Structure 1
Amino acid sequence: MIFHFAWRNLTTRPLRTILGLVGLSIPVLGVLGLFSLSGGLRGLVTDTLGRIQGVMVVRQGAPTPVFSDLSADLGATLEKIPGVRVAAPEVWKVAPAVEGVAAFSVGGLAKGLWSKGPSKGFFDISVVVGEDIASHRRLKNAIGPKAILPPEQGGGRYLEPGDRGRPHVIISKRTAEMHRDAAGVPKRVGDTLRIGDKPFKIVGIYETKSMILDAVILMDIETARALLGVSEDTVSAYYLEMDDPSRMGQVAAAIEAAAPNVSAMRVSEFQAPYGAILDQLDTLLLMTVSLALAVGVVGIVNTMLMSTTERFVEFGVLRANGWSRADILALVTAESATLALMAGLLGSVLALAGIELANQFVGGGVRLPVTPGLFVAGLGLSTATGLLGGLYPAWQASQLVPMDAIRIGSR
């Protein structure tokens, strides 16, 4: 009976109910959307790193090869370790301005700081990777050669011995589309790509459909050193392929024992630094949506306070007809919970529809997850918020003495 009364009270005041629904459903929509985005980024990292089968040797403490520097002489030591089939040296650095478009820091805080020309977003930042062509051609499971587009799509070729020391690059299809000519045509094999103040000839175009891997511009290691100002006795990392992939852990431990101040990790283990960054992102998102939820609570409190104030006569009559204070408390609480549940349903449906729509346009290997858990979280969050916001109005209404409630409500 209490829920029947609660539903009737909500439907007899449709405007106020609609305003309450909108006020609480928007924070729910924001929460689910933001955490779906976080889940999509985690999935991207997991999927990307899971494709690469091998061990990466970097300087101890370096989160990624971009921030690592190792001796070029280390490669000979690594290849002598039992179980290591190939130790391929690489140079990794953030690319200088590509076609006059410079990178900037996370969030755009340094937009325009690195150059006077246009700048690009965080996920558009290009990374130059210089490969030792001879050793990389010995790899059996390298992703690069397999990712080259087929000839009918203008894929060109992968790096060859003849590219050593020459200004030849391989770029992703995404990079080609980012840097179009005056007629709007994407870069093609044979075109020139300017990196920094130097022109490079495009000899191949690849596609992995991962925004992480597709940010890489590949070239010979000597060419990369000359472009990036890296000395000949320095590399960023070594990519190791094993005789027996099942012994990666044992070989990695042997490498760290033989070579001090280095970390040897499976490529999939690089997920940890990315996970730490995403954990911080989740915290920031939680702080942001907490403010929105606080606004939702205030909206529920305001809606229920106005509702209870207008119904003092009704509460007085109910008390005079035998309703206890607990009954009045349960009635108002049921109203706020019902309103919050409907707001949760509305916010969750809008969020799920928005996520599905976003997935039609989001590229780069990002897939925003739509899970039952997300829907349940939206309902639980809104219901808890509604209950919290309805407690004070419910308590206030339950404290009224029947005759006082009728007298005050009749004014």
Structure 2
Amino acid sequence: MRTILGLVGLSIPVLGVLGLFSLSGGLRGLVTDTLGRIQGVMVVRQGAPTPVFSDLSADLGATLEKIPGVRVAAPEVWKVAPAVEGVAAFSVGGLAKGLWSKGPSKGFFDISVVVGEDIASHRRLKNAIGPKAILPPEQGGGRYLEPGDRGRPHVIISKRTAEMHRDAAGVPKRVGDTLRIGDKPFKIVGIYETKSMILDAVILMDIETARALLGVSEDTVSAYYLEMDDPSRMGQVAAAIEAAAPNVSAMRVSEFQAPYGAILDQLDTLLLMTVSLALAVGVVGIVNTMLMSTTERFVEFGVLRANGWSRADILALVTAESATLALMAGLLGSVLALAGIELANQFVGGGVRLPVTPGLFVAGLGLSTATGLLGGLYPAWQASQLVPMDAIRIGSR
């Protein structure tokens, strides 16, 4: 029973570590896939991690469009949305809820972001994601923003947002319905779906409407989305922009992975600290199991020493037993983790796919074996120090 408890005690933290690695890999894959879809350069204030935290002059657009290679400079206003339908936009404790549900939820990754677009300049974009993501007519997709929406309380929301805010009968929001943002009502004119929880958190509207809602002055924008004449020259054009406009950063949209990566690194650290506590408990369990095992086998060790076994032989024997126990725990934890990940992938939503790789299995076995070796060193050393006759006498009591 003691061996079984030690086995289970170590397999649980192994399960936790592998689950963490898979979750982290899934989130990083989501960010990479999402940003990889957007082919353009984003201009933000220098040091701003995302457009939400950026502010630029509205006059900068004219300067940007004069730079050789820039085809369109489309101004945008980005801000975290006020309460949507009376529900606060930010929920600290909802990470797991937002991830593990394909249906409506209000979690960390469901923070709604208002993006105000300059309709005229955005209609000149050739590779914009928004118009292509509108649901087909048979699914009630409606339409994208048009010049007639300028200054009017019209919005485009994602299918996920529509499902999060249902009416009293449980019916998701539809085109023509009203969506209340803050204390203002907005008419839904279009519904889109990208299957990315990052992109599907956006509520689109005209830039003037967004300024009025969010209290942003007319001479301020959050960012400029730039489309190039020659996409292969994005790097050179971005460098030219930073040289021509001080205190701004011009980056390919894919380069925004770095700020997201930093956030995920901090999340990894926090979760690893939590799992490390469970791992420490597993080490204590291994030490306790092996100490009790060596105590009960004093006679065996004494006989082995009397028959010519050296202290090094006893040390190697007990250490190998500890490593074997840990390896079995790692095998159990890894199998449970891989099965759990496969099961979770049947329910996870928002474009997240938890990876299952041979590397995870190897990492689980390696972690458990190393833990077992560490936990077995002291019991092995104690057993190796026994004097043969004393060990036989003590063990015979």
**Normalised TM-score (structure 2):** 0.96
Q: Residue 367 of structure 1 aligns with which residue?
A: 353
Decide whether aligned partners of structure 1 residues 110 and 369 sit closer, same or farther in structure 2, where only a CA change above 3 A counts. Answer: closer
What root-mean-square deviation, in Å, do the aligned CA atoms of Structure 1 and Structure 2 show?
A: 3.3
The answer (yes or no) to whether the contact 1:297–1:389 under 8 Å persists in 2 is yes
Shift of residue 39, structure 1, vs aligned partner: 1.0
Distance 2:328 2:98 in 1: 46
The verdict on how the C-alpha distance between 1:48 and 1:150 changes in structure 2, with shifts beyond 3 A counting, is same
**1:60-116 CA deviation, whole Å, 9 max, x = no partner?**
111100011111111111111111000000000000000000123644799999999
Match of 1:131 among 107, 112, 117: 117
Q: What is the CA–CA distance in structure 1 between the aligned matches of 2:16 and 2:345, rounded to whole Å?
A: 16
Answer whether contact 2:91 2:106 (CA < 8 A) is retained. no
Paired residue secondary structure (1:106): coil
Instruction: Compute the displacement of 1:121 (Å).
Output: 2.4
Residues 48 and 210, structure 1, Cα contact 8 Å, conserved in 2: yes
Residues 353/210 of structure 1: CA separation in 2 closer, same or farther (3 Å cut): same
Over 3 Å counting, the alpha-carbon distance change for 1:197 and 1:112 in structure 2 is farther
Task: Show structure 1 runs of 5+ residues with no match.
Answer: 1-14
Asked if the contact 2:102/2:347 (under 8 Å) is kept, the reply is no
Q: Where does the alignment leave 5 or more consecutive residues of structure 2 unmatched?
A: none
- In structure 2, relative to structure 1, the CA distance for the partners of 1:114 and 1:399 (3 Å cut) is closer
Residue among 196, 208, 222 paired with 2:182? 196
Worse overlay, 52-61 or 282-291: 282-291
2:171 corresponds to 1:207: no
Tell me by how many angstroms 1:124 deviates: 1.2
CA displacement 1:6-45 (0-9 Å, x = unmatched):
xxxxxxxxx2221111010001000000111111111111
Question: Measured at CA, do residues 112 and 79 of structure 1 come closer, stay the same or move farther in structure 2, by a change above 3 Å?
Answer: closer
User: In 2 relative to 1, CA 352–118 (structure 1 residues): closer, same or farther, beyond 3 Å?
Assistant: closer
Match of 2:4 among 18, 26, 29: 18
Distance (whole Å) between structure 2 residues aligned to residue 154 and residue 199 of structure 1:
20
1:115-162 C-alpha deviation (Å, 9 max, x unpaired): 999994221110000000010000000000000111111111101111
- C-alpha displacement at 1:327, in angstroms? 1.6
Superposition deviation, residue 287 in structure 1: 1.8
* Cα gap change, 1:158 to 1:107, in 2 (>3 Å): same
Any idea what SS the aligned residue of 1:218 has?
strand
Identity of aligned residues (%): 100
Q: Do the aligned residues in 2 keep the contact of 1:104 with 1:113 (CA within 8 Å)?
A: no
Query: Paired residues, what number?
Result: 397
Q: State the match for 1:232 in structure 2.
A: 218
**Kept after mapping to 2: 8 A contact 1:102/1:117:** no
2: distance between equivalents of 1:237 and 1:323?
75
Residues 118 and 226 (structure 1 numbering): CA distance in 2 closer, same or farther, change over 3 Å?
farther
- 8 A contact 2:99–2:348 mirrored in 1: no
Contact between 1:337 and 1:390, CA under 8 Å: does it hold in 2?
A: yes
CA shift digits 1:270-306 (9 cap, x unpaired): 1111111111222222222222111111100000000
Q: d(CA) in 1 for partners of 2:14 and 2:336?
A: 9
Question: Is the Cα contact below 8 Å between 2:41 and 2:225 reproduced in 1?
Answer: yes
**Does the 8 A contact of 1:177 with 1:186 survive in 2?**
yes
**Contact map agreement 1:130 1:220 (CA 8 A) in 2:** yes
Closer/same/farther in 2, CA of residues 110 and 150 from structure 1, 3 Å limit: closer
Out of 81-90 and 315-324, give the one that drifted further: 315-324
SS of equivalent residue, structure 1 residue 270: helix
Contact 1:101 1:118 in 2 (8 A): no
Q: Which residue of 251, 265, 269 corresponds with 2:237?
A: 251
User: Structure 1's 111 and 288: CA in aligned 2 closer, same or farther, altered over 3 A?
Assistant: closer
Q: How does 1:74-93 map to 2 (within 5 A)?
A: 74-93=60-79
SS in 2 for 1:111: helix
* Closer/same/farther in 2, CA of residues 81 and 278 from structure 1, 3 Å limit: same
Q: Distance in 2 between matches of 1:111 and 1:150?
A: 29
